[in-house]
Amino acid sequence: MVYQRMNLPVLFVDHAAGIGGAEHSLLLLMRHLDHDEWQPHLACPDGALARQAREQGIPWHSISLPRLRRSRQFAQDWRYFSRDLGHVAQKVNAAVVYANTVRAALYGMWAARIAKRPFLWHMRDFWLSETAPRFRAVDWAAKWVLCRAAAQVIANSAATARHLPCGGKTAVVHNGIDLAKFAQPPDGHSFRRSYEIPADAPLVGTVGRLRPWKGQHRFIEMAALVRQTRPETHFVIVGGAPLGETDSYPAQLRQQAAVHNLEGCLHFTGHLGDVRPALAALDVFVHPGDPEPFGLVNIEAMACGKPVVAFAHGALPEIVAPGQTGLLVPPTNVAALANSVSELLADPAERQRLGQAGQQRAREQFSIWETAVNVAQILQKAVGGQP
């Protein structure tokens, strides 16, 4: 199918009603694509993601993409909901069906076939499940099927691309941020006042959904070690469950904090719609999680002029330039994480140097405009040429 006209509709598909990292990146991408060439449409369940898309003027189409792994009638559900999605693609005359998540891809590949449209898969995770699968051969085989179905595959990092059997179909496009939102420093002082954090206290923080793989339990272990040598330090954990997860992990974190006697200096904020004031209030940002497929908040911290301390695994070496914009330590070595944080707290000049270099790196390499241009080129390739 060859398209000659401009302003081609693209049907973006996401399974989530809430907004996690993948959905935040999707909203930015849809907003910053050149709308003279591409007209974004969004298919997802009703919720915060749909509401924000509508506020951006993006046409929204209500769909349901239930979890297939727990379905008692897998094949029937897959065909039924894929057919509905295919009908949406036909209705809007989509030039491309663009899956933003793994579950969206499982439905989108068949919907695109029904609608006779190219299928584009944006892979933002290492695995088809949230964490490393029990049977990796099954994960690899399912990825192979998705790769075969896709006209093009986008990986959000080289680390993610290494987990894909897609060969020459894969293009690495880093996530970007809206740098205009970080042009003026947010008010970190009001954030400190809100949580009764002294204005002159060193403050170390992390941001992310409260999930075990995000590593907040390691952050608490690190905080306990830092307090042994720098007892005046405060710590903040920003994050909640924006996608509706319910488990015992948040309660375990609070219990862990109590065991380490951190109640007076460790602050839980819950989910924040805007994390910039929290980042602005920090002296050091820490990423304590498992290997990340990307980790957008690290770039946001850099854009706020904060040095990043993280484990040297996943996509972090693609984001943080060690010794230039932050410090990377051996994976899962909490003592090394604590030592690096303590060193930076003792050296304001080094924090400033790393923070300023991080700002520059964010501006030069992680702009959403560059992301949108790169994705547009892949869309053009998927539809068979220049629109």
Which two tokens mark 38? 């591409």
Residue ranges of domains in the chain: 8-176+367-382, 179-365
For 59-94, the DSSP string reads -EEE-----STT-TTHHHHHHHHHHHHHHHHHHTT-
For residues 283 and 164, what is the distance between their CA atoms, to the nearest angstrom? 37
Q: What is the pLDDT of residue 249?
A: 96
**Where are the extended beta strands (E) located within 143-226?**
152-155, 170-172, 203-207
Q: Decide if 8-176+367-382 and 179-365 have a common fold.
A: yes
Q: What is the pLDDT of residue 6?
A: 67
- Fold for the domain defined by 179-365: Rossmann fold (3.40.50)
Q: What is the pLDDT of residue 384?
A: 85
Radius of gyration over alpha carbons of the chain, in Å? 21
Backbone angles phi, psi at 181, to 5 degrees: -70, -15
Which two tokens mark 210? 């409260």
pTM: 0.92
Q: What is the pLDDT of residue 3?
A: 47
Going by C-beta distance under 8 Å and a sequence separation of 6 or more, which residues neighbour residue 327? 307, 308, 309, 310, 320, 340, 343, 344, 354
List alpha helices for 201-261, DSSP H: 216-229, 249-259
- H or E stretch at 343: helix 334-345
Q: What is the pLDDT of residue 74?
A: 67
For residues 282 and 206, what is the distance between their CA atoms, to the nearest angstrom? 9
CATH number for 8-176+367-382: choose from 1.50.10.150, 1.10.10.10, 3.40.50.1970, 3.40.50.2000.
3.40.50.2000
Amino acid letter, 224? A
Ordered per-residue pLDDT tens for the chain, 387 residues: 444 446 899 999 999 999 988 999 999 999 999 999 999 999 999 999 999 999 999 999 999 999 876 656 767 878 889 999 999 999 999 999 999 999 999 999 999 999 999 999 999 999 998 788 889 999 999 999 999 999 999 999 999 999 999 989 999 999 999 999 998 878 899 999 999 999 999 999 999 999 999 999 999 999 999 999 999 999 999 999 877 777 899 999 999 999 999 999 999 999 998 999 999 999 999 999 999 999 999 999 999 999 999 999 999 999 999 999 999 999 999 999 999 999 999 999 999 999 999 999 999 999 999 999 999 999 999 998 543
**Where are the extended beta strands (E) located within 191-319?**
203-207, 234-238, 266-270, 284-287, 308-311
